[in-house]
Amino acid sequence: MKSNKQSLPDKNGFFGDYGGKFVPETLMYALEQLESTYNNLKDDENFKKQFYKDLSEFVGRPSPLYFAKRLTNHYGTGSIWFKREDLNHTGAHKINNTVGQILLAKHMGKKRIIAETGAGQHGVATAAVAARLGLECHIYMGAEDIQRQSPNVYRIKLLGAQIHSVDSGSATLKDALNEALRDWVTNVDDTYYIIGSVTGPHPYPMIVRDFNSVVGEELISQSQNLFNKMPDAIVACVGGGSNAMGAFYPFININETRLIGVEAGGEGVQTGEHAAPLNDGTPGVLHGALSYLMQDNSGQVKDTKSVSAGLDYPGVGPEHSWLKDSGRAEYVAVTDDEALKAFHEVSELEGIIPALETAHALAYLDVLMKEFDSNSNIIVNVSGRGDKDINTVAEIDGIKF
C-alpha cells in the first residue's frame, strides 16, 4: 500500500476522464464514509501490520515468482516467469482484496457482508474472510455462473455464506453486481459491500487496487533478486481488472517494463461476441463508474461472451481506461479457443493447471514472445488455479467423468 507519485484518482475519484461516483443519493453517504475510513487507516501502522500479518498467515504470502522452464524452452526466447497467485489460500488473487476490505468492515462496525461473484473466486474469498471473523455473508451470483462454476458454489456454502441466484439479464457477473448494489442501497446501515474488482464507484477502484498492489510490490523485489533487473513485460488477464491492476500499479513509473492486459476475445473481437471493452467498447457508465464499456448506439449494455466466467463482464475498471488512453499499458484480446489451447499446454508443460481467466494471459505469449530476445524476462500473473474450471473444460473436450 505504498502511495504512488502520480496519485490518481483525484479527489473526485477520477483517473483522467474515467471513474467517478455515479450512484443514487442513498449511497453517497456510505461511499464518503468508506473513503474517509480508508484514508484514515491506509497509512496507520497497526492497520498495515494486521493486513500484512493476515496476508502472511491466512493467505500464505508472499507468492513465489517461479521460472517456467519448459514453457520458456517451448518458445525458445526470453525467460518466462509465473507470479503464483494460484497458490494463495482459496486459489486466486481475490483474497488479497477481501483480507483488506474485511478489516475496513470490522473497523466500521458492520455486521453483514455482501459481495457479487462471477467465477466464484471472489465469493469464496469473501465467504472465507467473513467466516474467519464470524460475520453474516451473502453472495450474489448469476444463475449461468452458478451452473458453470458449481465447485465454487459449494465451497461458498461450506464456508457458511448464503448464495443468491440472479436470473436477470444474462445471469452473469454484471447482473450479480446489479443485485449486490441493490442490496447495499437497501441495507446500507449494517452492511459492508466487498466489491471484487477495481470497478464500481469511487473509492472502490482505488481500494481494491491498493490491496492487490502487494502483488506488484513483491514482483519488484523478486525481480531484483531473481534476475537482477526489472522485467521487460508483465502480462495479466483483465476482467474487471484487479489482478492486472495489482501487478501493474507499482510499475507505472518503471518505464522499462511493458504492461500488457489481455481481455476475453470470446469468438473473436471482430465478431462482437466477446468481453473485451478496452478493445471494442466506448466510454459509458456502468455500476457507478465511467469507463470503457460494451454498449450499443443507444447506450444499452451489450451481452458478453467468454468461456471464462471471471472475464465475462462488459465493463472494466476506470484506471485501465486511463492507462489505455495514456498509452502506459497495452490491451489485447485472445479468443476462447486460444485460451483453451494455452490451458492444456501450460498444464502439460509446467504441471500447473491455470484458471481459464489466467489462460488468456498465457495464450498471448504466442504473440508476445516473438517480440523479445533471449535476455528478456516476461512475467505472467497467474491469477488463479484451474480446479474450478475442470468441469467446463471437460465438457468442451467431450469428456464425461
Ligand X SMILES: *Cc1c(COP(=O)(O)O)cnc(C)c1O
**Would you tell me which residues interact with ligand X (CB under 6 A)?**
92, 94, 119, 121-122, 197, 237-243, 310-311, 355, 357-358, 383-384
User: Is-catalytic flag, 242?
Assistant: no
CA dist 301 and 291 (Å) reads 13
- 289 in helix, strand or coil? strand
Comparison of 207 and 238: residue with beta carbon closer to ligand X? 238
User: Is-catalytic flag, 383?
Assistant: yes
User: Is-catalytic flag, 306?
Assistant: no
C-alpha cell at 99: 483480507
Query: What is the smallest separation between the CB atom of 118 and ligand X, expressed in angstroms?
Result: 6
Query: What is the smallest separation between the CB atom of 92 and ligand X, expressed in angstroms?
Result: 4
Catalytic residue of the set 213, 223, 321, 383: 383
- 282 in helix, strand or coil? strand
Query: What is the smallest separation between the CB atom of 116 and ligand X, expressed in angstroms?
Result: 11
Query: What is the smallest separation between the CB atom of 355 and ligand X, expressed in angstroms?
Result: 4
Bridge partners (DSSP) of residue 139 are 115, 163
Comparison of 47 and 193: residue with beta carbon closer to ligand X? 193
User: Which residue number has the CB closest to ligand X?
Assistant: 384
The answer for residues whose C-beta is within 8 angstroms of residue 205's C-beta and 6 or more apart is 9, 13, 15, 19, 198, 199, 289, 317, 318, 319
Contact between 236 and 244 (Cβ < 8 Å): yes
Comparison of 47 and 234: residue with beta carbon closer to ligand X? 234
Query: What is the smallest separation between the CB atom of 337 and ligand X, expressed in angstroms?
Result: 19
Catalytic residue of the set 42, 94, 302, 305: 94
Comparison of 206 and 237: residue with beta carbon closer to ligand X? 237
CA dist 290 and 304 (Å) reads 18
Cis peptide leading into residue 9 (ω within 30°): yes
H-type alpha helices, 228-335 = 242-248, 277-280, 318-326
Catalytic residue of the set 116, 218, 319, 338: 116
Comparison of 241 and 250: residue with beta carbon closer to ligand X? 241
Residues serving a catalytic function are 94, 116, 383
